[in-house]
Amino acid sequence: MDPIVDLDFIDNRTPEQAAACETKVSEETNTGKARKLYIESYGCQMNFSDSEIVSSIMFEQGFDTTSNIEQADLVFLNTCSIREKAEQTVRNRLGQINYYKKKKPEMMIGILGCMAERLKKSLLEEEKIVDLVVGPDAYRDLPNLINEVDGGQKAVNVLLSREETYADINPIRLNSNGVSAFISIMRGCDNMCSFCVVPFTRGRERSRDAYSIVREAQQLVENGYKEVTLLGQNVDSYKWASEDGTESVNFAQLLEKVALVSPDLRVRFSTSHPKDITDEVLHTMKKYDNICKYIHLPAQSGNSRVLELMNRTYDREWYLNRVDAIRAILGEDCGISSDMIAGFCTETEEEHQDTLSLMDYVQYDYSYMFFYSERPGTLAARKLEDDIPLEVKKRRLAEIIEKQRETSLNRNKRDVGKVHRVLVEGFSKKSDEQLSGRNDQNKVVIFDKKHYKKGDYVNVFVHDCSVGTLFGEAVG
């Protein structure tokens, strides 16, 4: 999954996309367990999915969850290392948590996730209130680590695994709207993009048992969920084989299996890598109405030389070929979004213009846009000079944002005057008299509540739009 960074987004994010630059806090579960877990999750969708796995493991060890940190016996911060700002946010939060630790000295504090993996034992030395540090492949070891801390010791396990997928763990759905859920289908990443820390913090790529994924989707349907998002750093490289070697499943085949769970279950996925997305995947999307016609296809740059420096393993021509295939197979209305980096190492003004022209060609529905910031340990940090002045990066980013705002508005105007099937996710942010949901292309649609409720599929006639939202009226 390509990095998603909390800088200068335009305002048309879905709840899942907004979550990528926000914090999620555990909700209340009260089943009479002896101790309480409070967990804050930062970063990408994979982190929020991991927190659900952690909560399940800790539930079996006698912990309910709480949304009130003052009630917690154990506090976890599930962290992100994509940007320095993300790590600094966690350090600042630890300073705030120290206030609660002083009031309740027996409270345990743990750092989970990518920051734990990247900084390892140094966190225990630098942040004195931290009791345990646990990497994303070591969550099964949490019971043992908690016992060590209960015994008065600091604890750490940041070992990466080539096998761990947590396939047998039934996640506890945190912050769930009861309508949409994540299903992690793979872990790690084998792509070595030069700007990215993910391969170093999440390890090598491995795919989860296809039938465990289908079972999880079936269980979600039985529990009333209407939508799943299949998650992976690079879902298109999903590849599972049975132990006896008699069966193998690629991503297109997995998509089909999940789509067949129920025709009323919407299926989404994230993130696709341009080098791996195949026509087979696109034809599978076309075949099933309940597979949403939306693809997050990060470009990062529109210039082939810069893409080579980024080690993206495709060039501009290849990327445009994939976009052309999407439009040819799925139609012009298929939603496409992207990630864009402004001011990567040695990027010239002409190469920046190539990014703008790529955006003109593709006509993205929305994008995640940020300027390049060097991350320690990455290939770019070791081999390339971060030589673009900050004011130039910011100016280029502003041009990319303005381009995307224009394109997003134009794409939304195409939807005015049409009827869209919307899955209601809850009330709109501004009024309990209006509902909010998303259409097939992952766009937020707002309409008057009437008799409809969360979890309903509603046909909505769209009569107006903004850069980030469609506005309409239910038509039955």
Ranking 10-24, 205-219, 238-252, 331-345 by mean pLDDT, the lowest is 10-24
Predicted local distance difference test score (pLDDT) of residue 26: 60
**Highest mean pLDDT: which range of 32-41, 375-384, 406-415:** 406-415
- Two tokens, residue 130: 């931290």
7 domain residue, yes or no: no
Residues 229-267 as b or e (16 or more Cβ within 10 Å = b) = bbbbbbbbbbbbeeeeeeeebbbbbbbbebbebbeebbb
165 domain residue, yes or no: no
- Mean pLDDT (whole number) for 434-463: 97
Predicted local distance difference test score (pLDDT) of residue 382: 95
**CA-to-CA distance for 42 and 166, rounded, in angstroms?**
20
Cβ 55 vs Cβ 140: under 8 Å: no
Predicted local distance difference test score (pLDDT) of residue 140: 95
163 domain residue, yes or no: no
- Two tokens, residue 79: 């962290």
- Mean pLDDT (whole number) for 408-426: 98
32 shares its domain with 146: yes
191 shares its domain with 211: yes
The dihedral formed by the CA atoms of 295, 204, 93 and 150, expressed in degrees to the nearest 10 = 140
**CA-to-CA distance for 26 and 83, rounded, in angstroms?**
23
Question: The domain that contains 108 carries what CATH number?
Answer: 3.40.50.12160
Residue 214: left (phi > 0), alpha (psi -120 to 50), or beta? alpha
> pLDDT tens-digit profile of 91-112?
999 999 999 999 999 999 999 9
Predicted local distance difference test score (pLDDT) of residue 122: 83
The structure tokens 């939603």 sit at 335
Backbone φ and ψ for 131, nearest 5 degrees, come out as: -100, -30
Q: Pick from 384, 399, 414: which residue ends a domain?
A: 414
Question: The domain that contains 451 carries what CATH number?
Answer: 2.40.50.140
- Mean pLDDT (whole number) for 330-358: 98
Strands, E, within 114-265: which ranges? 132-134, 155-157, 180-184, 186-187, 206-207, 227-231, 239-241, 248-250
70 domain residue, yes or no: yes
Q: Pick from 386, 414, 442: which residue ends a domain?
A: 414
22 shares its domain with 84: yes
> Model confidence at 27, in pLDDT bands (50, 70, 90)?
low
> pLDDT tens-digit profile of 59-73?
999 999 999 999 999
Backbone φ and ψ for 27, nearest 5 degrees, come out as: -95, 175
Side chain identity, residue 34:
A
340 shares its domain with 401: yes
Which residues does 175 contact at the CB level (< 8 Å), separation at least 6? 24, 25, 26, 27, 48
169 domain residue, yes or no: no
**Average pLDDT score, the chain:** 91
Annotated binding site: 44, 80, 114, 189, 193, 196
| C-beta atoms surrounding 385 within 10 Å | 10
170 domain residue, yes or no: no
H or E segment and range at residue 113: strand 108-113
- Mean pLDDT (whole number) for 257-277: 97
139 shares its domain with 212: no
> Model confidence at 25, in pLDDT bands (50, 70, 90)?
low
pTM of the model: 0.87
> pLDDT tens-digit profile of 306-336?
999 999 999 999 999 999 999 999 999 999 9
Q: Is the pLDDT of residue 173 over 80?
A: yes
Cβ 280 vs Cβ 252: under 8 Å: yes
Q: How many whole angstroms from its chain centre is CA 470?
A: 23
- Mean pLDDT (whole number) for 33-37: 89
Rounded percentage of the chain residues whose pLDDT exceeds 70: 94
- Two tokens, residue 9: 């987004």
300 shares its domain with 199: yes
As for how many domains the chain has, the answer is 3
**CA-to-CA distance for 74 and 34, rounded, in angstroms?**
12
> pLDDT tens-digit profile of 212-249?
999 999 999 999 999 999 999 999 999 999 988 899 99
H or E segment and range at residue 369: strand 366-371
Predicted local distance difference test score (pLDDT) of residue 443: 97
447 shares its domain with 405: no
359 shares its domain with 380: yes
Annotated binding site for [4Fe-4S] cluster: 44, 80, 114, 189, 193, 196
Q: Pick from 93, 126, 157: which residue ends a domain?
A: 157
Q: Give the residue with greater pLDDT, 23 vs 151.
A: 151
405 shares its domain with 424: no
**CA-to-CA distance for 438 and 268, rounded, in angstroms?**
12
Q: Give the residue with greater pLDDT, 154 vs 20.
A: 154
Question: The domain that contains 266 carries what CATH number?
Answer: 3.80.30.20
**CA-to-CA distance for 464 and 281, rounded, in angstroms?**
33
343 shares its domain with 396: yes
Q: Is the pLDDT of residue 21 over 60?
A: no
173 domain residue, yes or no: no
186 shares its domain with 152: no
221 shares its domain with 255: yes
- Two tokens, residue 462: 């769209």
28 domain residue, yes or no: yes
Q: Which domain holds residue 268?
A: 180-414
